[in-house]
Amino acid sequence: MDQATVQRFLDGMKYEAGRTAPPPGFPQLPDIPAGRYTDPDFLALERAHVWKRSWLYAGHMDEFPKTGSYLFTRKTGSPIVVVRDKDDTVRAFYNTCRHRGGPLVKDASGCVPGFVCGYHGWTYALDGTLVNLRDKRDFVGLDPAQRSLVPVRCERFYNWIFINEDPQAQPLAEHFAPFTQYFEQFQPATWRFVMQEGFDVKCNVKVLMDAFLEVYHLKSIHTNTVDRFLDHRGTTIALYRNGHSLMVTPNRRPDWSDPGTRGMRRVETASEISAKNNPSFNFFPNLVTPVDPTGAPFLLFWPTSDTTMRIECHWFAPDWGGGPRSPQWDVRIENFDRILAEDLQFAESIQQSLQSPGFKGIPLNYQERRIYHWHEELDRRIGAERIPAALRVQPCLERYWEN
Ligand code: FES
Ligand SMILES: [Fe+2]
């Protein structure tokens, strides 16, 4: 991260803490229509154009220790297997046999020399090629070369693997380009997978995700935790194309450090922004990560229906030199889970509100503008012409995008 960018954020935090109103000219954001959280037709559009066509997190290289290591996911809505091939390439395929759709793998993870369909035994190499089929003599004119597994786009951001069901999607490196300069300082190629956990929540996925795009709620629901060490009034925000955004919130005291991270290995090249403040990234659509020089959780928000979701926390840290993780991690994760429970406490009530006539729409303020930015990208992805006029958001924030 270059010094000019660091300085811009440091100046930004001072400016935000001192202002008495939004910057001159900042628009009144129109209310987000309530139906964007509840209308089944709108949510079907969202599913088709965002969840089925975005770069979504699939795993870390540490979860693929050997040739043939695989993870099986249904998170995009389709059954997909992600597998490490011989040359250390990671590939993804629909978990769908080219004969009659039998499953290739059934477990959530494992290691295989190749894929053997459970139904009639067609066999595929790790690169998806059909290498053997039983009773070939009985298939008239079938060309095995035309029956390879159907690939899913699968690319890496450092050692983090993402998949995308859209064959035409922008390459991952281009898509995440705005964040590359920020991540370099953490030496992310040296980061290791620590652990993961997940929680099912009874609300639309956006209800909970919105809570992680702003710090306006700190004083109410994190009174005895986050609000003690972060000053939400100094939060400075950068909006990027493709729906991504970054929020940096200053620590209340410059010498403060998270007790959960004490004694942990730190990346020494982290800038002042990360070492002494709290940056939190949103990789559109569903990855939020507050990155610290000692490690970070990837928070992932997955819809499981129109009214339910699952949040997952995948933890990573700079290489600690092998062996089991330090017991300090238990303290750190326990602290984090306490904060997460605070964030989860209203989700179900808010969902009930969304489904009541009392919920008319969402007026967002200046410091909540990342949520509006997210919704603007949602409409760009769907195509405004496909959305009923009453459910569209009016584009307002493009002039604030970073270059
Ligand atoms: S469905 Fe896979 S071999 Fe028949
Ligand atoms: Fe929160």
pLDDT digits (tens, 9 = 90+) for 319-369: 998 788 888 999 999 999 999 999 999 999 999 999 999 999 999 999 999
The answer on 377 and 234 residing in a single domain is: yes
Q: Strand 236-239's sheet: what is its strand order?
A: 191-201, 309-318, 296-303, 287-290, 277-283, 245-250, 236-239
Query: Of 234, 244, 226, whose CA–CA distance to 370 is shortest?
Result: 244
Give the pLDDT score at 300. 98
CATH number, domain of 99, equals 2.102.10.10
Ligand nearest to the CA of 118: 1
In a domain, 162, yes or no: no
In a domain, 33, yes or no: yes
CATH number, domain of 331, equals 3.90.380.10
Query: Of 119, 61, 47, 125, whose CA–CA distance to 93 is shortest?
Result: 125
215 in Cβ contact with 225 (< 8 Å): no
The answer on 294 and 182 residing in a single domain is: yes
The answer on 205 and 129 residing in a single domain is: no
Beta partners for 115?
Answer: 124
Give the pLDDT score at 403. 79
Atom of ligand 1 minimally distant from the CA of 97: 2
> Could you give the number of structural domains in the chain?
2
Distance 104 CA to ligand 1 centre (A): 9
**Residue 292 carries which DSSP code?**
B
| Torsion from C-alpha of 289, 290, 291, 293, nearest 10 degrees | -150
In a domain, 163, yes or no: no
The answer on 252 and 119 residing in a single domain is: no
The answer on 334 and 307 residing in a single domain is: yes
Is the bond leading into 250 cis (omega within 30 degrees of zero)?
Answer: no
Which residue type is seen at 46? E
The answer on 111 and 29 residing in a single domain is: no
Give the pLDDT score at 141. 97
230 three-class SS: strand
Give the pLDDT score at 81. 98
Give the pLDDT score at 201. 98
The answer on 64 and 34 residing in a single domain is: no
CA diameter of the chain: 79
The answer on 259 and 124 residing in a single domain is: no
Atom of ligand 1 minimally distant from the CA of 117: 2
For ligand 1, say whether the CB of 99 is within 6 Å of any of its atoms.
yes
In a domain, 169, yes or no: no
Give the pLDDT score at 387. 98
The answer on 308 and 214 residing in a single domain is: yes
For ligand 1, say whether the CB of 350 is within 6 Å of any of its atoms.
no
The two three-digit tokens of residue 74, written as one number = 């249904």
In a domain, 167, yes or no: no
In a domain, 375, yes or no: yes
Give the pLDDT score at 94. 98
Burial class (CB in 10 A: 0-12, 13-18, 19+), 294: buried
The two three-digit tokens of residue 235, written as one number = 């939060």
Give the pLDDT score at 322. 79
Domain that holds residue 214: 3-54+176-400
137 three-class SS: helix
246 in Cβ contact with 237 (< 8 Å): yes
238 three-class SS: strand
The answer on 78 and 49 residing in a single domain is: no
Query: Of 113, 111, 108, 128, whose CA–CA distance to 64 is shortest?
Result: 111
The answer on 327 and 193 residing in a single domain is: yes
Domain boundary among 127, 157, 187: 157
Q: What is the pLDDT of residues 194-233, one digit of tens each?
A: 999 999 999 999 999 999 999 999 999 999 999 998 999 9
In a domain, 170, yes or no: no
In a domain, 171, yes or no: no
Beta partners for 192?
Answer: 317
Residues of the chain scoring pLDDT < 70: none
Give the pLDDT score at 101. 98
The answer on 364 and 221 residing in a single domain is: yes
259 in Cβ contact with 229 (< 8 Å): no
Atom of ligand 1 minimally distant from the CA of 122: 3
Distance 385 CA to ligand 2 centre (A): 34
Q: Tokens 């069901």 map to which residue?
A: 165
Give the pLDDT score at 312. 98
Domain boundary among 89, 124, 157: 157
